[in-house]
Structure formats: C-alpha cells, structure tokens
Amino acid sequence: MSDPKTRYHAHGVTAPGGEARITTLAATIPFDGSPTMGEEVPGPAHLLASALAACVLKNVERFSHMMPFKYSAAAVDVVLERQESPPRIVRATYTLEVDTDEPRARCQLLHRNITKFGTISNTLARACELSGTTRVRRSGGSVEELDPPASGEG
C-alpha cells in the first residue's frame, strides 16, 4: 500500500466588496477578493508568489539541517508573470540570496535540492516556466551569482 498523501486545508470567506480572508492552521490571512487588483492586501496571485517564496526559504532551513549547510541569513525575491487571455501565470522567477561561507559547490547543491524537492516549486514547474538564481554573499563582502541548476536537475 502506498503512503497516504499529505493534505493541507484552508478555509476562505468573502463579503460583497471583496473583503476576504483565509484561515489555515492558527493563521488568518486577509486577501483582496475584489474584481480588480487592490493596493493594500494581497490578491490570490500575490499569495501564490508568497507560497513560492515560503517554499524556497523553508527548504533553505530544511537543507541546512540535512546537508548540513551553514548560513546566517537568506532572502528570496519572487516575480510571477500573468497573461491576460486566458488568465494564468506563465512564468515564475526567483532570486535567492544566502549569506554563507560554504564552498560554491555546496551552495549549488543547496539550490539544486531546493528546486528538486520543493512542493510548491515542483507544482509550479509543471504549470508554468519556473527559473531561479542564487546569489551567495560572503562574510568578506563579496557576492557570487551561481549558475541555475541544469535542466532536468530540478
């Protein structure tokens, strides 16, 4: 018998005018449920970009324990591109910045693992073009940009 699938649950509510919220676990997240894009709270596409950002950062922490991999900070910037007709996300890109003095090859392995084993990144990669780069900031102040993982590696 195969392993049971992990399940995630969220509950959403809205009211006329588009004031909406999602509840998941113990968190309540307001979102823009109006027909246009608001400027104060995220809409569904912003939440999707946020999910990818959270996936990347969660996996930095996850692999810091598994590899192990030492880092002092990590940040990610995610951009989603939407086409109008039919409306859908066609491209997702991200730039991961990691503060570490780990060797270049280990930094590349970290990025390869993130792209290969991230639930949200794997899901998006099947639905749209997904690409990411990693910048490594060294304690001495230098910055290295790593090559993206090779095609088929994540």
Distance CA 65, CA 100 (A): 14
Domain 43-146, CATH number (from 3.30.300.20, 3.30.930.10, 3.40.630.190, 3.30.1330.10): 3.30.300.20
- Cis status, amide bond into 86, omega within 30 of 0: yes
For residue 37, the model assigns a pLDDT of 82
What is the residue-level pLDDT of the chain in tens, covering all 154 positions? 567 799 999 999 999 988 999 999 999 999 999 988 888 899 999 999 999 999 999 999 999 999 999 999 999 999 999 999 999 999 999 999 999 999 999 999 999 999 999 999 999 999 999 999 999 999 999 999 998 776 544 4
Structure confidence at residue 35 (pLDDT): 87
3-state class (DSSP) for residue 154: coil
The predicted pLDDT at position 148 comes to 77
pLDDT score of 2: 65
pLDDT at 38: 80
pTM, two decimal places: 0.91
Q: How many helices (H) and strands (E) does the chain have?
A: 3, 7
Q: What are the domain boundaries of the chain?
A: 10-42, 43-146
Distance CA 144, CA 95 (A): 12
